[in-house]
Amino acid sequence: MSSFQELLGQALVFGKLYVREPMSRHTTFRVGGPADYFVEPENKKELSDVLALCRQQAVPYYLLGNGSNLLVGDKGYRGVIVAMGKFWSKIKTEDCRIWAGTGALLSSVANQARKNALAGMEFASGIPGSVGGAVVMNAGAYGSEMADVLEVVTVLTPEGENRQMTAKELELGYRSSNIPDQGYVVLEAGFLLQPGNPEEISSKTEELAVQRRSKQPLEYPSAGSTFKRPPGHFAGRLIEEAGLRGMSVGGAQVSEKHCGFIINRGGATAEDVLRLCRQVQKQVWENAGVELELEVKLLGEF
């Protein structure tokens, strides 16, 4: 056992440590090789101690939520995956505000809002990600995004201190924030919503769910929208116009239902997915002169 592994285990009094954990078990793409270390800290001290140890030992680490916007290489990740699990998933309501831990699913937050007749989170009901990841990338759908409802965020600074920040301080942009550059870790988010009609909230939520089921390939593993929306264009339309609907590399395929999704039709590898993404980017550029940027984050060794 390495000295780093021993120190990592000592930092986790209540949390769990796994060695060579397959990341295919923890991403919605269902692909990805093993992480050297996979930890599940169960309180703020364990989280802070694990991150401090990684920094001291110069060991890379990555904060994992629901793994819904992530493609991990087949050779795995040389470092520590820090999974924000059950301890970080608490949700509570105070008047028109919902407080949610970084590990809470957006769908659960939207459901909490619906139960309390609070409007504004309906767009998030079908987004498969967790609160932390959604805040970091300012996730959105159907014309709305986190910036529209996010009020405050509690982060853990690189110095191990808790800091509360307003949404404005996070410099939220299209699928971006300043959180990664600052080295912050999202601990909790506060959403400010509006009182609404319960029937109207439920009706809108169901309407969006019907749209998702009819237009998105939810029956296959994927990471959601694979590419960012290019200014003035729609990625799916550009891909379709390039004649790429249904194009495959190994087990990875451009969805025939929605060309903006790369799906795992069965047995795909991370290399299959990445090669297909690169081919799509190349052919869209050649066809339309538009550069598609990946929305999916690449992690580890391919």
Active site members: 175, 225, 295
Q: How far apart are CA 19 and CA 41, in angstroms?
A: 15
C-alpha distances out from residue 51 to 56, 89, 102, 210, Å: 9, 19, 16, 41
